[in-house]
Amino acid sequence: MEDHGSAALGRLLAAMPEAIQATHADLGDATALVDPAAVVEVLRFLRDDADCEFEMLTDLCAVDYLGETPRFEVVYHLYSVTKNHRLRVKARVAEDPCEIATACDLWPSANWMEREVWDLYGIRFTGHPELKRLLLYEDFEGHPLRKDYPKERRQPLVGPRN
């Protein structure tokens, strides 16, 4: 049985070798680590290429590698309904500036996923149409899923909103 995720990786490597930093396809888990400056271009290729057709962004999340440089990783989980294959795309993001381009123009579903990552990790998605807190209130200080966020931290009280 052919591993379609691996075939998509090969297609991506052939089309955009300069944007790809590493790949693996262990146990059918096809993953590409890409240059964060080229992430939108890579995602657009994967969505639009006839051999890939990743029409669906199923998830977008982040990982905090405290102590490593770059510190953060944004992870895109793609699925092709047409071809029934999956691919994971990762891009490392520095702590300063802690930003990467938005994928909202490619998949509208990225909107709230990026807002959640902004809210909880503090990774700014440049070009996002309305990047604001999603789960926490606007006066909340910090980003609680960062590994250096103090678990005993007190937050400002929130009064009634009119």
How many angstroms separate the first and last alpha carbons of the chain? 60
**pLDDT at residue number 91:** 98
The DSSP bridge partners found for residue 76 are 60, 89
Under 8 Å CB-to-CB from 122, ≥6 apart: which residues? Answer: 98, 142, 143, 146
Domains of the chain: 4-97 (3.30.460.80)
C-alpha torsion sign, points 47, 79, 15, 128: positive
Q: Whole-structure pTM over 0.85, yes or no?
A: yes
Query: Could you report the per-residue pLDDT of 34-65, keeping only the tens digit for each?
Result: 999 999 999 999 999 999 999 999 999 999 99
**pLDDT at residue number 26:** 85
Q: Is the pLDDT of residue 119 over 70?
A: yes
Q: Is the pLDDT of residue 27 over 90?
A: no
Query: Could you report the per-residue pLDDT of 64-114, keeping only the tens digit for each?
Result: 999 999 999 999 999 999 999 999 999 999 999 999 999 999 999 999 999
